[in-house]
Structure 1
Amino acid sequence: MIRRNYSLFAAFVILLGLHAAPAFAVNPDEMLADPKLEDRARDISQELRCLVCQNQSIDDSDADLARDLRILVRERLVAGDSNEEVIDYIVERYGDYVLLNPPLKPETYILWVSPAVLAFLALIAVIAFYRRKQREDGAGPKSLSAQEQKRLDEILGTSQDRS
């Protein structure tokens, strides 16, 4: 009976874990009273990078700068800006790097090209490693000279006539 209860408890905990919603860093005091504006603020926050965490949106980050940016987004929305105007305002202040999906333009080419270049360099390194390993494995002499074979046979005690 006790074993069955543990199984049920474990199943319950697993199900709760599977249904857990992602935790957002937005504090209740930051949220807007208007649900439509709050939804717009969340949409915008998902597009903006936390400049401290760098791989999180400001909506997911607990950093102070991310909180300041979330508040700034909401202030701009309350002031009547459109989503694009809010994003443009923040990009103007922080640059294209603040966007999780930066636009393709000359200033951001390095952001778009660097993953492919790094993957290509890694591929070259792997190929070079395996070629060098093959050369080292096959670098030894293919056959022993007659004198070397005679000495080896003496050491091993298998003196055989190799004519």
Structure 2
Amino acid sequence: MTLVVLFAGPAVADVADVYDFESSSQEQRYQNLISELRCPKCQNQNIADSNSPISKDMRDEVYLMMKQGASNEAIVEALVARFGEFVRYKPEFESRTFLLWATPAIAVFVGLLVVAGVVIRSRRAGPDAPALSEEEKARVDKMLAAQEQDRTS
């Protein structure tokens, strides 16, 4: 029993971050900020959910900057300057992120063009589509006969 108590200490030593806030709105602001920032180490996890040391440093930085009176934009910009644009889940629209933002619209537009092309082509062919010529019918019959012969042999 003594061993369990002795080794249980390190297991619970990694407790959640505890920060003191002056109001619940300030705590909500903090929670919103850390949930909007992505951990640079963990591929697609925000710093609120990440256990990595860099996320802890980022949470501490957000807390300290909030205590110093920094705005949300200033906090995000400071972290972007330090860790890169990757920490934003929603990168700003600018010339280098144009393709990132435009790709879904371009894909939908190209898809609509393809569908429109298929519909127009099928309407043109419609019920008035020309039947097979006598030569084409003979070739099809010959291929079907060869296929049938291969199955039976």
Shorter-chain TM-score range: 0.5 to 0.7
Give distance in 1, aligned partners of 2:116 and 2:50.
40
Residues 105/33 of structure 1: CA separation in 2 closer, same or farther (3 Å cut) = same
Match of 2:71 in 1: 82
Matched, 1:91 2:80: yes
Gaps of 5+ in 1: 1-26, 132-140, 156-163
Matched, 1:50 2:39: yes
**Match 1:32 to one of 19, 37, 41:** 19
Instruction: Compute the RMSD of aligned alpha carbons.
Output: 3.9
Give distance in 2, aligned partners of 1:55 and 1:126.
34
Determine if contact 1:31/1:38 at 8 Å carries over to the other structure: no
**Match 1:109 to one of 94, 98, 101:** 98
**Match 2:132 to one of 139, 142, 148:** 142
Partner amino acid for 2:92?
Answer: P
Greater Cα shift, 103-112 or 60-69 = 60-69
Percent identical:
31
Matched, 1:59 2:68: no
Give distance in 1, aligned partners of 2:53 and 2:104.
29
Greater Cα shift, 117-126 or 105-114 = 117-126
Partner amino acid for 1:45?
Answer: I
Give distance in 2, aligned partners of 1:81 and 1:112.
29
TM-superposed deviation, 1:123: 6.7
Gaps of 5+ in 2: 1-13, 122-130, 146-153
Residues 117/34 of structure 1: CA separation in 2 closer, same or farther (3 Å cut) = same
State the TM-score, normalized to the length of structure 2. Answer: 0.53
TM-superposed deviation, 1:44: 0.9
Residues 143/117 of structure 1: CA separation in 2 closer, same or farther (3 Å cut) = same
Give distance in 2, aligned partners of 1:64 and 1:115.
35
Give distance in 2, aligned partners of 1:114 and 1:107.
13
Partner amino acid for 1:82?
Answer: S
Give distance in 1, aligned partners of 2:40 and 2:21.
27
TM-superposed deviation, 1:93: 1.5
State the TM-score, normalized to the length of structure 1. Answer: 0.50
